[in-house]
């Protein structure tokens, strides 16, 4: 920090993130704590560390969120952390206005093929990690179906990661950056639209239908 304070500090990009697949009852408390620590608290830690310099030099703060902040399709733990980051940014953006600091959120869609953030899901590994109680509730066939669904989503991910990088560069360099950059397919944007404007029961029906395919 002493080094940066002598040359100026313009922008901070909070990009660190991890992802996993699994229904709520399959995941341990330790896993929830790890995801919150990396995806949420990690961004908060770096933000607090550099905030004095960003205020001093009227810089930019850029956070990597996701369209998954609005809905979940088998990765609720990741969705949870991204929704929390969104709210953290909403508060920070308003608070930083008086200092001339801009806060921007990048909301990518499915770029799994570009980032390799999520390896293919193994139904066998999930089954082996389940408690005896969970094994009595969920069949091996059900877990295989969910794993196949999630792996198909990973394969559909865009390989054009440069689209997200372009949004990050604009957030850092534009004279008038957007508060949010949604970089996603039309289908993903439509899901966000439904989630934001329609009753929850409608979104639940849409997602339940998608999960049944």
Query: Annotated active-site positions, please?
Result: 78
| Alpha-carbon gap, residue 171 to 193, rounded angstroms | 23
73, 108 Cβ separation under 8 angstroms: no
Dihedrals phi, psi of 13, to nearest 5 degrees: -110, 115
């Amino acid at each position: 920090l002493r080094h940066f304070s002598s040359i100026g500090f313009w922008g901070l990009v909070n990009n660190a993130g991890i992802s996993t697949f699994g229904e709520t009852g399959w995941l341990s408390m330790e896993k929830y704590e790890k995801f919150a620590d990396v995806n949420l608290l990690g961004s908060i830690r770096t933000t607090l560390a550099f905030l004095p310099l960003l205020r001093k030099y009227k810089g930019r703060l850029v956070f990597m969120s996701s369209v998954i902040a609005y809905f979940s399709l088998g990765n609720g733990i990741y969705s949870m952390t991204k929704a929390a980051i969104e709210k953290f940014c909403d508060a920070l953006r308003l608070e930083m206005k008086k200092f001339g600091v801009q806060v921007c959120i990048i909301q990518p869609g499915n770029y799994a093929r570009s980032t390799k953030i999520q390896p293919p899901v193994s139904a066998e590994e999930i089954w082996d990690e389940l408690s005896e109680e969970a094994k009595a509730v969920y069949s091996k066939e059900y877990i295989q179906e969910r794993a196949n669904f999630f792996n198909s989503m990973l394969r559909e991910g865009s390989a054009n990661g440069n689209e997200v990088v372009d949004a990050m560069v604009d957030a850092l360099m534009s004279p008038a950056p957007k508060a949010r950059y949604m970089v996603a397919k039309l289908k993903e944007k439509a899901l966000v639209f439904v989630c934001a404007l329609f009753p929850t029961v409608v979104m639940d029906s849409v997602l339940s239908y998608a999960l049944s395919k």
